[in-house]
Structure 1
Amino acid sequence: MTSTFSIYALTAVAGLYCIYRLAVRLQLSRAKHPSLRGHSNWSRRVARLVPFFSYDDNAFFASDGAPEPVQQQRRKAIRTLQNNAEQHCHRTLAYLRAIRDSVSDVRFTSRYRVPFPYSDQLPECFRLGSMADESKGSQVRDLDGNWRYDLSGSYGVNVFGYDFYKQCMDEGIAHTRGLGPVLGAYHPLIAENVEMICEVSGLDEVSFHMSGTEAVMQAVRLARYHTGRTHLVRFCGAYHGWWDGVQPGIGNTRKARDVYTLADQSQQTLHILRSRKDIACVLINPLQAFHPNSDAPSDTALVASDRNNVFDKQSYTDWLSQVRDVCTERGIVLIFDEVFTGFRLAYRGAQEFYGIQADLVTYGKTLGGGLPIGVLAGTHRLMRRFKDDQPVNVSFARGTFNSHPYVMGAMNVFLNRIRQAHIQQQYRTSETLWNQRVARFNQRLESEGLPLRITNLHSILSVLYTRPSRYNWMFQFYLRQAGLELSWTGTGRLIMSYSFTDEDFNHVIERFVEAARQMDADGWWWQSPALTNKAIRRQFLVDMVSARFPILKGRLSGPLATTRHDTRSGPMADQDQYSRKVG
């Protein structure tokens, strides 16, 4: 009898435990964003199922169901753009072709400038990207002598204009030339640099690294070391460098079981932070306020016209304040990843911009004064890499080129220059200035009747498309022809520097409008009642399913159905493997 009762009791306990674990799991699932971006494992699995397919020559120009006259307009436009590029950029293109097959970054970015079904038919000269040999102020020059206003921002490095950084580099190297590349021994400028970084960060201690990704790696490692907990929380869509420990979804083949990807601005997320005992740290990318729960906008994902970036500063400030309170309450390390936003949004970066103090802060890009750098700042307690009572229990981190003298020199010039009165005045007025400029930009677009709108977070801009279209990704090539330099992500992110004067900005508006007029005249924004964003996405899904299951080809159709082939072809065939992964 006693034995039977024990079995029943154990069964009941096991059942209750299973119910408890299921409830905990459901709470975690509710805190994730419902999209695939919020479910890293599923996003990786689905990415493997997305087949490559390529629109043939006819479908390339008619995937939206455009009539024959519009198709011919587009064909002529492509030829004109191609001829102009080959004529005016022939030297630049020759150099890019020479390195195309031997520089892996060029192969990758060439593959992902546009939605993948269009890439094989896109003329090669559009895929190759940029090469430059000189910069000045807000402009860069290619090898053919073409000057363009730079909207790429050198991935965020260029906050103050290229002349500013060339001066930082020249002066910094002059200060440290006597020591040269001596490593291990520190150049004395490091002491002043650390003092200024501590002032900016509001923290006690600094470690130097060679990239922002490396600084984030160290921040996460120290958070786990000191809390004794296993997991980190990142927010849906946020980018923290390419390390697989903070990029658990597409692009990473390792199954990261120690990362929770939770929804931004969600009360369910706050509940998870309050209730779980395994969370070591929360990673915040302040730029995510521009597109919460979405990936960074890129033209490679411009399948339709439903890109939507909206920045609400007060709302995101309130959210970060709540996260800060929960982290303090639960002993979770709050990390601000300021690799991109540091020294751009304000003198003290996003911490000042949002009025939130973090426990650890990572910096990079612009802080190096034009040279590569990654920096981690934190409290004395969190930056400590050893335990007094456990001499072998250390958190090891070193790097051969950490604190390189030339980098320390350029950084020193940078940090001293941004303390000057006129730069501090720029910081005080910059947010209002950029908001006013973007408002003026949008007024001009509206007056021209163009299907475009500009959104911004400070001096970081993005292009929204207000008319359903399958060809918005073409706009990047018109902008380039008009004299505007974009990064490989195209119109998703336009990164502008403080060196843009009102006159420069007006020139950018004029060139932007000129490019948009031509794009419109060439028929890429042709419209029909059937061409809705929903219909476009449905047709794209039909195309993918037909490519995955050829037996269904012809049986599936959408409102925009066109002739296409699903077999691999074209000059990019050797890059099939990654395209299958990223989709």
Structure 2
Amino acid sequence: MAPLEAARLARRRLLGPIDIQLRLLAAWTGENPMDVYEELAKANPRSKEIYERNTRVLAQEVVGTVFLPYPFYAASAKGSKITDADGHEYIDLTMGFGPLMLGHNPDIAVNAAKEAADKALMLGIPNPYQGELAELLVEASPCAERVMFCNTGTEATMYAIRLARALTGKHEIAMFDGSYHGAHDYVIMQGDLDPNPSEPATRAQGSGVPPATVEQIKFLPYRDPHAFELIEKHADELACVLIEPVQSSNPRLDVGDYLKELREVCTRTGVLLILDEVITGFRLAYGGGQERFGIKADLATYGKIIGGGLPIGAVAGSQELMKPFDMFGSPNAIFAGGTFGGNPMSMLTGAAVLRELKARPEIYDEMKARGDGLAARINDFLREGDYPAQLLHADSMFHLIFSKDPVERGRHGADEQTMRLEHLYYAHLLKRGVIVPGIHLFFISAAHTEADIDRVVEAMKDSFRAVREAGGF
């Protein structure tokens, strides 16, 4: 078994005791077993206890792609900081994978959640608490006149695709290489750029997705005009084109003209345009990517920020396009709904956070300034030190790529040696009190201060230096 595969298996809880995991990671990265990995583990005995207990009963913890340097357990959080199970505090750049625009546990969200809990944890039947959040979303989203709430961003894209098929009578879906739209069968795919990157092949990420499902997905080349030709060629089969205004795997702001041309092509060909604003909604601007780039989708999906830290998803569109959600009043009705959709906790907490973002528009300028500053300082350091890395960003969204090569589109692949150095880098960063999840996408929030940014910059610089001293870069 290759060291990389063995390390992945250990992290996925298939090899058991933590000392095995540490030895595998040390062998994989080339670090002495007594160096950074074991140093982290020795400082966290409570985390070791939790790990050994959890591996006996859990098949997976949270998200399988979260690959941290040692078994890390976040026990509490406030503002820009997380405290782990052993009492160590870190500057958190995970931010719940994007929902926490105001930071961890802002008083406005906590108070709203407490008030909601006093009313009802969940009801199932219709309640009076969905209306305000829906009004705020309709006001902010350029395409929205009606909203349907669900529980996650994954559910939102699933329902939006089902809606597009019902509206058009067509069944195929197009999306772009490098995209992420959730974990249901129709989107847990990736575009294979070999042999022709201008016409990516489709393949499922992982097992369990039927070949018949894969056949209904067409991948388009991101930021490539040939995508428009493919849409025109397959317009008779395509129900919709699904795109993130800014890709989480490739955060950049030079996409406005491309999105506008995509909008024109979809209008001309009669293919519905769905903007996946699960991450970008209320982050790139109060009106999300649609406001930021001056475009209007046919349908938009939301999640993350609109729940204020609690589970949520939403589909938004015009009154006409949203009619199939009426199970008894539409000839092409679709089934949608679930036990926890529209629950009081998410509705009231989400509304409180959106009211705060609406009342404090300066948050967006402040976060952009801090994000631009962080990226500029790190990229200057990397260029001056001739490090093979670059920090991509779009305001408060970041992705650290371990390559000097220009990143034009798609998820940036890495060979085993590069992945080894990445892992070592993030171990050193964690040792210095900054946490970035294993997916390497990270965020800042309104709670991150200039002092936090300064600490992050210095920790990142020191971690690059430490990896170089260990023989990397």
Indicate whether the TM-score tops 0.5: yes
Q: Name the structure 2 match of 1:229.
A: 170
Q: Which shows bigger deviation, 213-222 or 435-444?
A: 435-444
List gaps (5 residues or longer) in structure 2: 7-25, 190-203, 405-414
Q: Name the structure 1 match of 2:219.
A: 261
Equivalent-residue separation in structure 1 for 2:329 and 2:458 (angstroms) = 65
Q: Name the structure 2 match of 1:53.
A: 2
Q: Percent identity?
A: 28
- Give how far 1:144 is off: 1.1
Equivalent-residue separation in structure 2 for 1:261 and 1:101 (angstroms) = 40
Structure 1 pair 192/143, CA: closer, same or farther in 2 (3 Å)? Answer: same
1:103 maps to which of 53, 58, 66:
58
Counterpart mapping for 1:185-264 below 5 A:
185-186=126-127, 188-202=128-142, 203-248=144-189, 249-252=204-207, 253-255=209-211, 256=213, 257-264=215-222
Answer whether contact 1:172 1:408 (CA < 8 A) is retained. no
Q: Name the structure 1 match of 2:200.
A: none
- Give how far 1:310 is off: 7.3
Answer whether contact 1:92 1:131 (CA < 8 A) is retained. yes
- Give how far 1:200 is off: 1.0
Structure 1 pair 495/335, CA: closer, same or farther in 2 (3 Å)? Answer: same
Q: Name the structure 1 match of 2:44.
A: 89
2:228 maps to which of 248, 266, 270:
270
Equivalent-residue separation in structure 1 for 2:325 and 2:387 (angstroms) = 60
Answer whether contact 2:172 2:238 (CA < 8 A) is retained. yes
Counterpart mapping for 1:516-531 below 5 A:
516-525=464-473
- Give how far 1:205 is off: 0.1
Equivalent-residue separation in structure 1 for 2:33 and 2:290 (angstroms) = 46
- Computed over aligned residues only, the root mean square deviation of the Cα atoms, in angstroms, reads 2.8
Q: Name the structure 1 match of 2:21.
A: none
Q: Which amino acid aligns with 2:210?
A: R
Structure 1 pair 387/454, CA: closer, same or farther in 2 (3 Å)? Answer: closer
Answer whether contact 1:385 1:395 (CA < 8 A) is retained. yes
- Residues 85-138 of structure 1: CA deviation (Å, up to 9, x unaligned): 23211111211221024222239738x739xxxxxxxxxxx353x212221211
Q: Which shows bigger deviation, 174-183 or 199-208?
A: 174-183
Q: Which amino acid aligns with 2:471?
A: G
Q: Name the structure 2 match of 1:465.
A: 402
Equivalent-residue separation in structure 1 for 2:3 and 2:294 (angstroms) = 48
Correspondence 1:506 to 2:447: no
Equivalent-residue separation in structure 1 for 2:441 and 2:301 (angstroms) = 22
Structure 1 pair 167/432, CA: closer, same or farther in 2 (3 Å)? Answer: closer
- Give how far 1:148 is off: 0.7
Q: Which amino acid aligns with 1:113?
A: F
Counterpart mapping for 1:352-391 below 5 A:
352-385=291-324
- Residues 44-87 of structure 1: CA deviation (Å, up to 9, x unaligned): xxxxxxxx634799xxxxxxxxxxxxx99x76644222332232
Correspondence 1:80 to 2:35: yes
Q: Name the structure 2 match of 1:48.
A: none
Answer whether contact 2:378 2:461 (CA < 8 A) is retained. no
- Residues 372-426 of structure 1: CA deviation (Å, up to 9, x unaligned): 0011111111111279999764211121111111111101211211111xx2012
Q: Which amino acid aligns with 1:160?
A: L
Answer whether contact 1:320 1:356 (CA < 8 A) is retained. yes
Answer whether contact 2:99 2:304 (CA < 8 A) is retained. yes
Answer whether contact 2:421 2:467 (CA < 8 A) is retained. no
Structure 1 pair 386/96, CA: closer, same or farther in 2 (3 Å)? Answer: closer
How many residues align? The count is: 421
Answer whether contact 2:370 2:453 (CA < 8 A) is retained. no
Equivalent-residue separation in structure 1 for 2:156 and 2:31 (angstroms) = 49
**SS state at 1:385 partner:** helix
Q: Name the structure 1 match of 2:441.
A: 493
Answer whether contact 1:387 1:393 (CA < 8 A) is retained. no
Counterpart mapping for 1:123-522 below 5 A:
126-128=69-71, 130-164=72-106, 167-175=108-116, 177-186=118-127, 188-202=128-142, 203-248=144-189, 249-252=204-207, 253-255=209-211, 256=213, 257-275=215-233, 276-288=235-247, 296=249, 311=252, 313-314=253-254, 316-385=255-324, 393-420=332-359, 423-446=360-383, 450-465=387-402, 470=418, 471-473=420-422, 474-489=424-439, 492-522=440-470
Answer whether contact 1:282 1:332 (CA < 8 A) is retained. yes
Structure 1 pair 482/106, CA: closer, same or farther in 2 (3 Å)? Answer: same
Q: Name the structure 2 match of 1:554.
A: none
Structure number with the bigger relative contact order (C-alpha 8 A, sep ≥ 6) is 1
**SS state at 1:79 partner:** coil
Q: Which shows bigger deviation, 166-175 or 347-356?
A: 166-175
Q: Which runs of 4+ in 1 moved over 6 A?
A: 386-392
**SS state at 1:183 partner:** coil
- Residues 259-292 of structure 1: CA deviation (Å, up to 9, x unaligned): 111212233321232243121111011232x6xx
- Residues 221-262 of structure 1: CA deviation (Å, up to 9, x unaligned): 111101111111111121110111122422253122221112
**SS state at 1:221 partner:** helix
Q: Which amino acid aligns with 1:191?
A: G
Q: Name the structure 1 match of 2:11.
A: none
**SS state at 2:175 partner:** strand
**SS state at 1:287 partner:** coil
- Greater helix fraction, Structure 1 or Structure 2: 1
Answer whether contact 2:74 2:82 (CA < 8 A) is retained. yes
Answer whether contact 1:367 1:414 (CA < 8 A) is retained. yes
**SS state at 1:286 partner:** coil
Equivalent-residue separation in structure 2 for 1:180 and 1:211 (angstroms) = 17
What TM-score do the two structures reach when normalised by structure 1?
Answer: 0.67
